[in-house]
Chains A and B, each alone.
Chain A
Amino acid sequence: MPKILLVEDNEMNRDMLSRRLQRKGYSVISAHDGEQGHSMACSEMPDLILMDISLPLMNGWEVTRLLKSNESTRHIPIIVLTAHALVTDRERAFEAGCDDYDTKPVEFGRLSEKIDNLLTVRKS
């Protein structure tokens, strides 16, 4: 059962997304700020991270950069979720080392496709 770390500060979104992911058959752990997200990623070693950008304490870019510069967590695919649908956000996401990018509100079908893709790529 693939383990997904969901870093999201909005409680409702966190709850909704984690439940939908669980229904999809993933094991979901969640963090509500950047620092917690970082520490959980390091300790839990999830198979994939869904990362919100506007986070308290440490923003999503920061966490992503930290994880991608860490030898032990670099391999974990990260999908960035942002409410800002600006082209520059997309570029920043790839610059920061994200593996994929999606905008909020999440279109769940598209997101789960992206998750599947990244997990399959990693497996193969």
Chain B
Amino acid sequence: MILQNLSIKRKLTLITMLTSSAALVLSALSFLIYDLVSFRHLLIQDLRTQAEIIGYNSAGAMEFKDVSAATATLSALTAKEDVVSAGLYGRDNKLFAHYSRNKNLISQLLPANSQDKGYRFEGGYLQVFHDVTLNGERLGTLFLQSDMRQWSIRARRYAGILFIFVLVSGLFAFLVSSRLQRLISRPILHLEDTMRMVSANRNYEVRATKSYGDEIGKLIDGFNTMLSEIQQRDMALRGANDELKSRTGELEKEILHRRQTQEELLKAKHVAEEASRAKSTFLANMSHELRTPLNAIIGYSEMLEEEARESGKSDGVHDLRKIQSAGKHLLSLINDVLDLSKIEAGKMGLHLENFDLAPLIDEMATTLQPAAAKNGNTIRLHVAKNLGAMHADVTKVRQILFNLLSNACKFTDHGTISVNVDESRFEGRDWIRFRVTDTGIGITAKQKENLFLEFSQADASISRKYGGTGLGLAITYRFVQLMKGRISVESEPGKGATFTVYLPAQVVAETSESARSTANSELAPASDESKARKDTILVIDDDASVRDLMSRFLSKMGFHVVVAANGEEGVRIARQVRPLVITLDVVMPECDGWTVLKKLKNDSDLADIPVIMVTIVDNEAMALDLGASNYLIKPVDRDRLAVLIEKHRAGHPATITGAAAAPFISNPPQRRRESERRASGKVDHAEDLVSRR
């Protein structure tokens, strides 16, 4: 483990040293061992030769039992340092003569059994036995013992040499390897340095230097390529980042700019609204201030006229009448201005009531008779026989008719003004159509463009010639709009004009506010009816207890509830009351819910009333296919029902601007003339709306 963590430098040095030392030691050892083995062999040979020579030399002495001669022969061994002892044994194996380098050790040196032959190692000594023969006859045995001193000395010397040799060669290997390892370690260390620099400073511009073309060189090449890649990407990233930053900056500026603009706009809006309010208030106050003196002017002149007439001073009557008429004209102008300011301020409410149309038309004709007579015009009335009661703001209907008729009178000279009133049915409701046709100067296509705008009489010369503020048609248009009706004009210059006004037979108050105010008025039945249209829920169910429960629950929610016990009755009541929402049971005798639903949806008049199916039969798909708005399974979750009905109440057409959004409609398409269609953008647009319906 320690080795593994060494630096590559050390590792390389160590590997080189260990390898070379091991090889050196191994080769030296094998040589040494070989040498020592062969040297020992040599020593054995030498000792045996010695034994042969001494045996030969001592054979005579043995024959003649000459101990001293034998001892003398043996003593020649003193020249041989390593022979420590020798002995001659007779045929009876008894010691005959002996030699010993150390005289005291004779007995110990002699072997117990002298019968052995050849050589052997015993106790660190080499022992040689040799037969002493003379003429082929064995006389005894010669025994030599050597302490191998020469071998030991040689071995020790060798060990020393080996040690020094290993030491020196190791040192040399160290020196060489520590120089040569740099070949490998230096580029690696350089690479490592470079990498550290890159990672520490995030500097991708540095490159490792390649020294050699070996694997490390390739590694460095690879590393450099990688670095360039990273550098490139880093630069691209930085570029993108910078761009992002600058874009973000731009966006922030943009946002800031917009916010400022928005604030400015908001301020401007507030200012404008404030100005508009101020204008309305001013106009209201102004008209009040103007009315008070007018009141006196008209009143006094009327009084004086009466007095003059009573006292018979008829010459003053004429002038007093002029004062009156001028005063009344001024009053009507002030009223117009006030009306417009009220409409603009959104303060113009609808005072809905039921009234008969025929008497109203007659009354209008009578009122305008003097104006018609002034220009020598005749008023002709064509009122449809079947005309019933209308539910609307009678004052405004009167004013609409008054404006149209007085215009017709004003712009027609010795002609006919006809008033056509009839009822028609489209878009699922009843409409009253008023058509005022004259044979007067007519209106050009260009004049039509601004016809219904405030203060825009067809021509400046007209106001000089005919008088008026030009507010009449603007107010008429606004009133028609207020009652969700439509107004259009058809004219050919020089031949007269026809103004057509469609008003719903049953005008619905625009907001719940005005509906409530209607309820407060003296006209109870009218208010009930308008309430019925807005808040009525029709419950169709054959089960009396369900009807009862639903009625109670819905009444608590503030709805007016009508019930029907079967499908037939349900459809009939739906037609009568036009409820906000119908809840419909499916399983009923005779006429089941599906049939009722189909009937309701096939009736153009009732198709837009949302139907909520309330049933135990789970067939939502069928319900929705047939046109039901929602589907509830009995027992009914009241909260869910409440939510659904509230949703329909919120989205009820009575509270949003429906058809009235179109400024006016023209006559049926087949009656339109090409020239009219080209008349103006405004008229074209209106006609498009109509033809699309």
**Which of the candidate stretches A36-44, A56-64, A70-78, A81-89 sits at the interface with the other chain?**
A81-89
Q: Total A-B pairs in contact (CB under 8 Å)?
A: 66
What 0/1 pattern do residues 91 to 109 of B give for CB contact below 8 A with A?
0000000000000000000
Q: Does A105 contact B (CB under 8 A)?
A: yes
With both beta carbons as reference points, the residue of chain B lying nearest to A11 in the complex is identified as B296
Contacting residues, chain A, for B331 (C-beta < 8 A): 105
A16, A19, A95, A105 interface centre (most CB from chain B within 10 Å): A105
> Separation in Å of the B321 CB from the closest CB of chain A?
15
**Cα–Cα, bound, A10→B289 (Å):** 11
Q: Which residues of A contact B60 (CB under 8 A)?
A: none
Contact status A87-B349, CB under 8 Å: yes
Q: Point out the residue from A12, A87, A95 that lies within 8 Å of B296, measured CB to CB.
A: A12
A94 contacts the other chain (CB 8 A): yes
Q: Measured between alpha carbons, how far is A20 from B302 in the docked complex, in Å?
A: 9
The yes or no answer to B478 lying at the interface (CB within 8 A) is no
Chain B 288-314 near chain A by CB (<8 Å), digits 1 or 0: 100111111011101100110000000
State which of A86, A94, A104, A108 has its C-beta within 8 Å of the C-beta of B292.
A104
**In the assembled complex, B50 has its CB within 8 A of some CB on chain A:** no
Q: How many residues of A contact B (CB 8 A)?
A: 23
**A12 CA to B296 CA in the complex, in Å?**
6
A45 at the interface (CB under 8 A from B): no
The minimal Cβ–Cβ distance linking A102 to chain B, given in whole angstroms, is 11
Complex CA–CA separation, A85 to B343 (angstroms): 13
- B342 at the binding interface (Cβ < 8 Å): yes
Interface SS of B by simple majority: helix
Binds A, one of B183-191, B227-235, B443-451, B515-523: B515-523
A123: CB under 8 A from chain B? no
B interface size (C-beta, 8 A): 30
Q: Which residues of the partner chain A approach B294 to less than 8 Å between Cβ atoms?
A: 105
B289 to chain A: closest residue by CB: A83
- The CA of A17 and the CA of B295, in the complex, are separated in Å by 10
> Shortest beta-carbon distance, A74 to chain B, in Å?
19
Residues of A within 8 A of B198 (CB): none
Closest B residue to A103 by CB, please name it.
B291
In the complex, the answer to whether B288 meets A94 with C-beta atoms within 8 Å is: no
What CA separation (Å) do A25 and B288 show in the bound complex? 30
Q: Which of B291, B300, B342 contacts A86 (CB 8 A)?
A: B342
User: B563 to chain A: closest CB distance in Å?
Assistant: 33
Of the candidates B302, B335, B522, the one whose C-beta lies within 8 Å of that of A94 is B522
Whether a CB of chain B sits under 8 angstroms from the CB of A110 is no
Measured CB to CB, the closest approach of chain A to B437, in angstroms, equals 31
**Selected contact of A20 from candidates B303, B348, B517, B521, CB within 8 Å:** B303
Q: How far is the CA of A118 from the CA of B62 in the complex (A)?
A: 195
Q: Which residue of B lies closest to A20 (CB)?
A: B303
* 8 residue pairs bridging A and B, Cβ less than 8 Å apart: A10-B296, A13-B292, A16-B303, A23-B303, A84-B284, A85-B338, A94-B521, A95-B520
Add 9 more A-B contacts to A23-B303, A87-B348, A90-B521 (CB < 8 A).
A13-B295, A13-B296, A16-B296, A16-B300, A23-B307, A86-B347, A87-B349, A104-B292, A108-B299
